[in-house]
């Protein structure tokens, strides 16, 4: 649509019309400011994507660790309930022996104390399992009424995953999303420093203007009224030096802070991985020791079971040996649960298999 203006000259009124359908601006990026701004924007995008991946990794790790804790406590509850049953049998044998004059009352009191302790342990495990179910439901974004089934997770099934490689190359740290995010933050900050430095130079734009201009609207589109103009538009930041210097100093400070965060994130990752590897070695040694203890307890129970069946002793030593076997298995379960959880935390510390790709949009 033409744009009319009313002009008055020498007592006469004229209408001036102009129609400029073409108005093109092109910024000449001589100093790389636009390029640096694009690099900074892409760096921020990549940083945000890596931070989102880090958040997902932390949540998934928490879910796995919590689920392993739940499975471990479920096994401990089953073992403790079996232990409680054995202690009830031991108490019944002790009471029978007391009536026959074979045992004194202290044996019965000892069995009562053991029964009370196992009952308390059962109550604590039941409360812990309920709390772990609620925590797992919250991590999954559900309410406390969420149904959580018990998967079959065996030590043999997890043994291959629990094995550690002989060498862990440092390049694995590049797969950690928090380190990727920190690195992209440094690159984006560096690009913004470049853009802030380029702002000190003249800003050059090319402008093309084409259309029709006429004093009379009736002949606006007459070929003789066609007008066009093309040329550079130069902006000199002569009076903005203070603001530009302050902005450059601010961007330099952001860049230095991003470098410090990157180094801090890298050192924290190295320490986290080293801690998990040390814990894995410690738990592996404890598990080997518990396997030897379990074998010894099993052998002791078999000997006492044989003696009881042959009439060489009463049932109490055999029950006591079986109780020892259950207690050893409980310690094994606790160690195995800790190994499962440490394995999940180590996988998370190594990045969880994260692969970085910039996703536009």
Residue scoring higher pLDDT (164 or 68): 68
Return the CATH number at 138.
Answer: 1.20.1600.10
Domain encompassing residue 268? 20-212+225-349
CA nearest neighbour of 30 among 193, 237, 202? 202
Q: Is 11 part of a structural domain of the chain?
A: no
Over range 274-298, report the average pLDDT. 93
Q: Which residues contact 3 (CB under 8 A, 6 or more apart)?
A: 17, 18, 19
Number of domains observed in the structure of the chain: 1
Q: Is 1 part of a structural domain of the chain?
A: no
* Highest mean pLDDT out of 2-16, 55-69, 160-174, 194-208: 55-69
Q: Is 2 part of a structural domain of the chain?
A: no
Using pLDDT thresholds of 50, 70 and 90, give the confidence band for residue 182. Answer: very high
Distance of CA 128 to the CA centre of its chain: 24
Q: Is 356 part of a structural domain of the chain?
A: no
Q: Is 91 part of a structural domain of the chain?
A: yes
Q: Is 358 part of a structural domain of the chain?
A: no
Q: Mean pLDDT in the chain?
A: 82
Reported pTM: 0.78
Q: Is 90 part of a structural domain of the chain?
A: yes
Q: Is 357 part of a structural domain of the chain?
A: no
CA nearest neighbour of 353 among 139, 177, 98, 121? 177
pLDDT above 80: residue 217: no
The residue with tokens 């018990």 is: 150
């Amino acid at each position: 649509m033409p744009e009319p203006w009313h002009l008055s000259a020498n007592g006469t009124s004229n209408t001036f019309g102009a129609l400029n359908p073409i108005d093109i601006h092109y910024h000449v990026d001589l100093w790389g400011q636009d390029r640096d701004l694009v690099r900074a924007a892409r760096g921020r995008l990549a940083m945000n994507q890596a931070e989102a991946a880090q958040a997902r990794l932390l949540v998934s790790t928490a879910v796995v660790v919590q689920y392993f804790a739940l499975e471990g406590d479920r096994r401990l509850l089953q073992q403790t309930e079996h232990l409680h049953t054995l202690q009830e049998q031991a108490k019944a044998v002790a009471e029978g022996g007391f009536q026959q004059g074979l045992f004194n009352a202290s044996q019965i009191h000892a069995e009562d104390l053991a029964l009370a302790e196992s009952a308390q342990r059962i109550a604590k495990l039941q409360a812990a399992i309920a709390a772990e179910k609620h925590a797992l439901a919250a991590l999954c974004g559900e309410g406390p009424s969420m149904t959580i089934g018990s998967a079959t997770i065996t030590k043999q099934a997890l043994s291959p995953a629990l094995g550690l490689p002989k060498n862990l190359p440092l390049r694995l740290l590049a797969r950690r999303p928090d380190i990727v995010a920190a690195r992209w933050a440094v690159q984006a900050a560096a690009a913004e420093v470049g853009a802030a430095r380029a702002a000190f130079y003249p800003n050059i734009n090319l402008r093309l203007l084409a259309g029709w201009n006429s004093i009379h609207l009736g002949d606006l589109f007459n070929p003789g009224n066609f007008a066009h103009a093309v040329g550079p538009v130069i902006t000199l930041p002569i009076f903005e030096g203070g603001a530009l210097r302050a902005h450059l100093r601010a961007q330099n400070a952001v860049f230095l802070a991003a470098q410090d965060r990157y180094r801090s994130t890298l050192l924290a990752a190295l320490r986290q991985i080293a801690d998990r590897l040390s814990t894995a070695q410690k738990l592996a040694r404890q598990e080997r020791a518990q396997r030897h203890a379990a074998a010894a307890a099993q052998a002791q129970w078999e000997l006492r079971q044989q003696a009881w069946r042959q009439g060489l002793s009463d049932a109490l030593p055999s029950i006591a040996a079986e109780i020892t076997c259950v207690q050893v298995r409980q310690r094994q379960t606790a160690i195995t649960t800790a190994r499962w959880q440490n394995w999940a935390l180590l996988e998370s510390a190594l990045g969880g298999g994260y692969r970085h790709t910039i996703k536009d949009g």
